[in-house]
A and B are shown apart, each in its own frame.
Chain A
Amino acid sequence: MAAIIEARGLSKSYRSTRALEDVSFSVEPGRIVGLIGPNGAGKTTALKAIVGLTHVEGELRVLGLNPRTQRDQLMHDVCFIADVAVLPKWLRVRHALDFVAGVHPRFERSRAESFLARTSIRATSRVRELSKGMVTQLHLALVLAIDARLLVLDEPTLGLDLIYRRQFYDTILNDYFDKERTIVLATHQVEEVEHLLTDVIFIGGGRIALASSVEAIAERYVQLTVAPGEAARARALHPLYEREVFGRVSLIFEDRPASALAGLGEVRAPSIADLFIAKMQARPPGGAGDGR
């Protein structure tokens, strides 16, 4: 099947800062891709380019369309949730449903209503009367009732408490995601999403530090935990990153077979969060800045 998103050599500058620098990646259908990077890394610019909201240099096709020039057509198949607070304050819940039902041919109102019925949101409330978490639930209800092929989420749970954040991702995973759909989500809160991603793209300072499927990560990266006495021997094998945890040293290696390390200590696949920190701090050649 053709790639959902095909990006080659994307670049973008805002006055003096480079938001994206020669970024290339592709997203296959049926994947959940995490665009992970520190604040100001270029995540939002990349997502805005995908939904045609900003102009970037380079070649970008989304669902086979040019998002900048064929935006109106693209938005039939793409849903986009920016940061939580973009639903207008004056909008009533009932009217929000009316509106999306009126303009979106793929919106199934009953689906949104049944989702809302499980929350404490009332149809007559205005957005300004809802809590931040409820506004996100409302937005999610609207978006999940749209039968879209690609869902783009930009820091969707920013500023929400833990319960709402958990609910948000659980809902997306359980009620929405299937093999027909593709999700691209940007976040800097890695721990939150790592269990649901199939692919990760680490981005820092406008450059891609790593683009890989989660399975491939387990093959390429190894986390070794050793007693401090063994640390010097482990260091000799050129770890990507190391840190000390509870008196033991934890090191992350790239492209080193686990069998070569097993003798030194405890070996396992690194978590995405640990790998992210390792990659961001290791600064591979030509690699990421700190994105600020």
Chain B
Amino acid sequence: MRRTLILVRREIWEHPSLWAAPLAVMVLMLFAAIFGRTALPSGRLTMPPQMAQALFALGVLAFGVTQYVTMSAVLWFYATDCLYSERRDRSILFWKSMPVSDAQTVLCKALIALVVAPIGVYLLTLITSVLGFGIWALREWSGSIPPLYWDTRTWLRIEGFSLVSLIVATLWYAPLTAYLMLVSAWARRNVQLWVILPPLIALLVERIAFGTHYLTTVLLYRLGSGWQASLLVSTERLFTGPGFTLGGPGAAPAAPFEGLGAARAFANVDLWIGLAVAAVFLFAAIRIRRYRDDT
């Protein structure tokens, strides 16, 4: 445990963008909450409750989505760099002089991309939305901006939905993460190019040789939002629970995790096939780091 912790810390020392980028996004959004203006007239507005609720929900989502998009970019570069940089600067000779196995090293890097970073960013998103709306409420109290509807249940609902989506998406894209790490362990230079090239060549070969585009379909399905389909989230289901009609009397959001289709997402065999492929890629990355001769 202590060992895992120090290996995780070592990754964060080497890749400060893992925390700096999400923190920068957070600061930007808090700035927006402090200095932002709206087109809405100031003073008390009368708004149908479901519209206020939807606006609020969109605000919470916006805080999250910005973070998750940033995180995806940061993790792309992390995964392509994490096993390459140590070979580029030859520091692998130092790391390999320590009693840390290649499996520990590679799995710890995967842990960063698949667990530590998503959880960290998720927590940061929670803090950002609370702080952001807190700031907005202070400004509202001072009378400079229109009031904002804070609804704890809606907030919990959106954050519950975000958490489930984040988990499912992280697992869905795990083979991509593992593939990037594999290329990072294998490529001698131009990692980004080698990430693109093999699938591209495979697609072209398939198309020319067999006239089919089966691989294209598979890749688009995997890289696209295939995971969302199984989550079965419609706007309506997101904001209301079963038995509610939007804007009806006493309309209240559903419980945080209700009816999100998480069970269905995990029952999706494609998710598990993806995870198996990810495991194979990680295993290959470990073998390459272990047995490659020209360290």
Residues of A within 8 A of B (CB): 48, 51, 53-55, 71-72, 75-76, 79-83, 85-92, 95, 98-105, 139
Binds A, one of B21-29, B92-100, B216-224: B92-100
> B93, A86: Cβ atoms under 8 Å?
yes
Binds A, one of B4-12, B142-150, B172-180, B248-256: B4-12
> A76, B99: Cβ atoms under 8 Å?
yes
Bound state CA distance, A88 and B10, in angstroms? 11
Bound state CA distance, A150 and B287, in angstroms? 26
A80 to chain B: which residues have CB within 8 Å?
93, 96-97
A82 to chain B: which residues have CB within 8 Å?
90, 93-94, 97
> A51: which of B90, B97, B100 is its contact (CB, 8 Å)?
B97
- B268 touches A (CB below 8 Å): no
> A75, B98: Cβ atoms under 8 Å?
yes
Residues of B within 8 A of A (CB): 2-3, 5-7, 9-10, 13-14, 85-86, 89-94, 96-101, 290-291, 293, 295
Bound state CA distance, A91 and B13, in angstroms? 7
Q: A85-B90, A102-B6 are in contact. Are A54 and B97 (CB under 8 A)?
A: no
> B98, A100: Cβ atoms under 8 Å?
yes
Distance in angstroms from B47 CB to nearest chain A CB is: 51
CB nearest neighbor in B for A77: B99
Q: What are 28 inter-chain pairs, A to B, with CB distance below 8 A?
A: A48-B295, A51-B97, A53-B293, A54-B295, A79-B97, A82-B94, A82-B97, A83-B90, A85-B90, A86-B92, A88-B14, A88-B85, A89-B89, A90-B13, A95-B10, A95-B13, A98-B9, A99-B6, A102-B2, A102-B5, A102-B6, A102-B9, A103-B6, A103-B7, A103-B98, A103-B100, A104-B99, A139-B94
> A92, B13: Cβ atoms under 8 Å?
yes
Distance in angstroms from B181 CB to nearest chain A CB is: 18
CB nearest neighbor in B for A106: B99
Nearest 9 interchain pairs by C-beta: A102-B6, A88-B91, A80-B97, A82-B93, A75-B99, A72-B101, A86-B93, A86-B94, A76-B99
CB nearest neighbor in B for A152: B97
Distance in angstroms from B182 CB to nearest chain A CB is: 21
> B291, A87: Cβ atoms under 8 Å?
no
> A90, B3: Cβ atoms under 8 Å?
no
> A98, B91: Cβ atoms under 8 Å?
no
Q: A87-B91, A102-B5 are in contact. Are A75 and B97 (CB under 8 A)?
A: yes
> B101, A55: Cβ atoms under 8 Å?
no
> A88, B97: Cβ atoms under 8 Å?
no
Distance in angstroms from A148 CB to nearest chain B CB is: 10
CB nearest neighbor in B for A52: B96
> A54, B90: Cβ atoms under 8 Å?
no
CB nearest neighbor in B for A101: B6
Bound state CA distance, A53 and B294, in angstroms? 8
> B291, A55: Cβ atoms under 8 Å?
yes
> A55, B99: Cβ atoms under 8 Å?
no
Bound state CA distance, A160 and B239, in angstroms? 67
> A53, B99: Cβ atoms under 8 Å?
no
Bound state CA distance, A60 and B100, in angstroms? 22
> A87, B295: Cβ atoms under 8 Å?
no
Bound state CA distance, A88 and B6, in angstroms? 16
> B6, A90: Cβ atoms under 8 Å?
no
